[in-house]
Structure 1
């Protein structure tokens, strides 16, 4: 086991690639031989990312804040705030703490780094438009360090994708990857990429990207579970509920002890998949878990929670309840500027029997392959045009969205009487 500076470097390298167990082991080994702020902070982050927020807070609480230089203060404050926001589920406290630190630092580089993390908090709290403003300012700053760029670019990639602005998603993801800090940010930018690929009708590429992330991580690491979640999201879009359920059951078990925003999202997606499979009781239980875990830190995914309610209602054969919940999903997405997410919700609304979804789809400003297909589908359903519904089914089947295609085919048959 390496010690001293070599041990600290080994811990940091393990953290960067998402090997949290190794990072913890290396960090503890260094601290057994003497105090090292770098090793202590790496250990704290490894603990936090494993969902052990209280342990991480205890490790960071041993630092004498008053004795820290500005660079040391930054190195300590950032992981502590992140731990408060996600693992301790104290987003208001974390934001207030960061703002206090922001008032103490004097360098523009430190300010950019603090802003980058505040932008990430803002995104998770359900304000992607404001988060994008913060991210752009950080990315345009000549004083932003690699840590700031990593946070800002990853958040910007996901925000852009969910807002329906796909052109820069891959470039932002590449910039986040190049920053190499920290490893788990790769999943944030990757979710932006898979979202953009889905809306571009490139489901095979989306699934391959997500599967590569799973293959590059080890269970039971949270990174492995998040990768499984990304694969499951693509599978749900494909209409393969059974395969997504298997992945999400594993992912939710791994993410349940953590404070990641991914945890509530995993329960939401699992409830959707179970509802689509007609498993009424199981969908209801997973929906209850999603609702219990949802809060300010996962507000970005409020539309997914409403879709979970929609498909759970559909499993109960509550058609009006399902349509109303799908409409609320779209409204929640629109309120937050998440146009691409609203479009996905409205496609599900049509599948569930919404005759009014076409007007809402037409109002959205999303330039992608799926958008005109969705509008044609909604108009055909409203008109009861069996031939047009068959065409919509063929179009969705052609890009791999077979669940939508199956429902459109059933609706065409019903229209023929």
Structure 2
């Protein structure tokens, strides 16, 4: 495995500049152990050697530290007892060349005194350029300090690699793309230290935990710290005074800790000594000073080597300190305290464990929430802990286990409200995670409660079910029958906010959707994850692309503050959703692909995977990546969720774009028109507008009437612009289509703007207005480029100058997929004889001599016929 120097361009240039600067004596390069000081200097100086500089590499070592001229033995005369004579001889050997000379001293604090005298003289007399490297935090003698005082040195502190450079280095080393989760874990464990990174990656690859799977390197399981790395860390943290070791061990189980708390536990002198040795770092946080270990691996190694009894005792000490100093309403502190106490020798506190399990679920640290809930069950908090644990298990896709947990609750001992909460959670688990909406609805219908708030729990579930199944009118009516703020559990309030946002957005009530979503965000179950998806969709359907991107930006900001894996994954997914709505196809494909990789790693059951496979299929097809779109579409169909029927229109739009990418434009129009009809029958009027606009983009000029009707039902600018688009296309009005293109661009729908410009060019060309056609064609091309490589049916037709009818054109494109006449006839729902007739006419018009030659005339329909 090869590890190229990565992310160090700036450092290399600074070293070069210091050596080329006539007024500079050289440069002092410092940095932590393993950060790459020596390698950066060596590779930089190798380039100077290639330019006829003479390079001398001197290494300070512990072994030669007490040996006079031990570091300079290769340049020392074999005889002579006079130290002064020896020094002069070494200086002469190092600097007598007529070529420029650079003396590099690695680990300069380890030089023996006489070697330091030689280097000092070279610096003082400016006989050569000098590069000194030293480890940050190591003791430095007065003799060493005199070296950089003897000349005018530049200084360079080598920082660890950034997360981006870390990912790039690992990708280059393993020879392929690395899953984002794996890259993030590697950076968090190594903090960008190249040596630590290399040792861990090589060890994990050798053991098979870091492996190439489905065209990407993924990391599964917990890392095993390789022996070589353990030795490096123990060389840094071993052999310490007992009091300093206690500081390291306390932070290993409980970091970060307020400095005052750490001092109370271990003593001020020990903390100061650990700080002086560079073993801990201190930083101000919210008016206090927090202490951490200087590197995460120090804690990893100490936890693995220490006795379990010691670790249990220390966890109890830290948990007790947190209890005495941190308010009970600080959710992060409560979670930390409970997590420490579970693995300590303290007696379990049921209330603490319950509060912490809720807090961990809110923080989306789902494995920890599950562990704390299990501990709470064992400690006697059975009902509430079972509800928390079932919620967590359902969220991570373990629906059968969640159902077993809830079925194990003795409902006869519960209050009516508790029974309603158990029923609600069972229904949600059945509906989404176990993908059985009918069973979920039947369970709630069998529940016998006519009094609030129990009845309101069941009405809230029916509201969620109606919205998810594509019945927005029923969902909105149910939502108005109860006060969601009075529901007994955060989960009910959160899902109700999601359901009403979905229903309002689909129905065209964008303002109400925004109001409900905004009110739902403060619900303390990280509600913005699911609500933001519905919020963004409502804004995109209305035509408020800028608003959708603002919500996505909010999600990105909140994801940065959370270490919960699902939060980050959904944040990336909704960002991709907003980018697709804006027409930024390249970024949308990247974000959605990444999100799907991550969602697959923890949850394939609840429907999120299906939801974002719809979007990825659409984005790929819009780019003309037909083969990839077909693969994504197959995955979408394989994971189609019966509880997400409100997305039937989006699935049809995705399928329409795939058909259009293949060249079957008439079939694409038929798909989205049918979806529009179904959406309208369900009261999903905003979704119907989107379907009709898509059909218009494909070239259907018969959508204007219904779009004008929908203007009165749907809020936002999209419906009106789409209606004008259909009017202009029906009248072949190129100038109006130009105007419509700019309107679409103003609301942020760049794909629609591209297609409107392409249709304008086609209209102008049909009227022999070549200048106008060229102008619109160039605009369409520029917009397509801005979109990250859009290749839509309208764009292809815009650049197609063949004398073919629309039907002949799509059959010629389908020939490019190597489809048979029978396959084409089946897709287009015409007879084989009709297909043969169109092929004959197209060959006559174009002069093509074979089916293959004819199919090659219209590129873009790559991939297998679907």
Q: Residue 268 of structure 1: which of 605, 611, 614 is its match? A: 614
Residue number in structure 2 paired with 1:369: 717
Residue number in structure 1 paired with 2:513: 169
CA displacement 1:24-82 (0-9 Å, x = unmatched):
23212323444522112101111110111122122223212333332321232221211
- Contact 1:393 1:408 survives alignment (8 Å): yes
Residue number in structure 1 paired with 2:692: 346
What is the CA–CA distance in structure 2 between the aligned matches of 1:117 and 1:199, rounded to whole Å? 25
Residue number in structure 2 paired with 1:259: 605
- Contact 1:87 1:259 survives alignment (8 Å): yes
Q: Does 1:414 align with 2:789?
A: no
What is the CA–CA distance in structure 2 between the aligned matches of 1:21 and 1:216, rounded to whole Å? 20
CA displacement 1:300-349 (0-9 Å, x = unmatched):
10001100110010110111011111212212221221111111222211
Q: Which moved more, 1:335-344 or 1:65-74?
A: 65-74
SS of equivalent to 2:715 = coil
Superposition deviation, residue 366 in structure 1:
1.5
- Contact 2:501 2:538 survives alignment (8 Å): no
Q: Residue 27 of structure 1: which of 369, 373, 387 is its match? A: 373
Q: Residue 208 of structure 1: which of 547, 550, 556 is its match? A: 550
Uncovered stretches (5+) of structure 2, i.e. residues with no partner: 1-338, 342-348, 766-866
Could you state the TM-score of these two structures normalised by the residue count of structure 1?
A: 0.92
What is the CA–CA distance in structure 1 between the aligned matches of 2:363 and 2:678, rounded to whole Å? 35
Q: Does 1:195 align with 2:543?
A: no
Q: Which moved more, 1:229-238 or 1:293-302?
A: 229-238
What is the CA–CA distance in structure 2 between the aligned matches of 1:229 and 1:346, rounded to whole Å? 26
Residue number in structure 1 paired with 2:432: 86
CA displacement 1:257-314 (0-9 Å, x = unmatched):
3322332221111111111111112211221222232243010100011001100101
Structure with the largest fraction of strand: 2
Q: Which moved more, 1:296-305 or 1:51-60?
A: 51-60
Residue number in structure 2 paired with 1:183: 526
Residue number in structure 1 paired with 2:17: none
- Contact 1:319 1:352 survives alignment (8 Å): yes
- Contact 1:156 1:172 survives alignment (8 Å): yes
CA displacement 1:176-198 (0-9 Å, x = unmatched):
234x26434x3443234323433
Residue number in structure 1 paired with 2:464: 120
What is the CA–CA distance in structure 1 between the aligned matches of 2:675 and 2:587, rounded to whole Å? 24
Superposition deviation, residue 123 in structure 1:
1.2
Q: Residue 729 of structure 2: which of 371, 381, 389 is its match? A: 381
Residue number in structure 1 paired with 2:478: 134
What is the CA–CA distance in structure 1 between the aligned matches of 2:720 and 2:658, rounded to whole Å? 28
What is the CA–CA distance in structure 1 between the aligned matches of 2:655 and 2:485, rounded to whole Å? 45
- Contact 1:160 1:192 survives alignment (8 Å): no
Superposition deviation, residue 142 in structure 1:
9.1
Q: Residue 327 of structure 1: which of 673, 682, 696 is its match? A: 673
Q: Which moved more, 1:23-32 or 1:211-220?
A: 211-220
* Closer, same or farther: CA 199–42 of 1 in aligned 2, 3 Å: same
Residue number in structure 1 paired with 2:635: 289
Q: Which moved more, 1:379-388 or 1:226-235?
A: 226-235
CA displacement 1:219-244 (0-9 Å, x = unmatched):
77334333333222222222122211
Q: Residue 740 of structure 2: which of 392, 395, 412 is its match? A: 392
Could you state the TM-score of these two structures normalised by the residue count of structure 2?
A: 0.46
What is the CA–CA distance in structure 2 between the aligned matches of 1:392 and 1:259, rounded to whole Å? 42
Count of matched residue positions in the alignment of Structure 1 and Structure 2: 412
Superposition deviation, residue 163 in structure 1:
0.5
Instruction: Return the index of the structure with the highest Cα Rg.
Output: 2
Q: Does 1:47 align with 2:393?
A: yes
CA displacement 1:125-184 (0-9 Å, x = unmatched):
121111111111123x89644645443333112211111012322322233234x26434
Q: Does 1:241 align with 2:593?
A: no
* Closer, same or farther: CA 45–23 of 1 in aligned 2, 3 Å: same
What is the CA–CA distance in structure 1 between the aligned matches of 2:459 and 2:630, rounded to whole Å? 39
Residue number in structure 2 paired with 1:308: 654
Residue number in structure 1 paired with 2:749: 401
Higher relative contact order (CA 8 A, sep 6+): 1
* Closer, same or farther: CA 211–51 of 1 in aligned 2, 3 Å: farther
What is the CA–CA distance in structure 2 between the aligned matches of 1:401 and 1:60, rounded to whole Å? 46
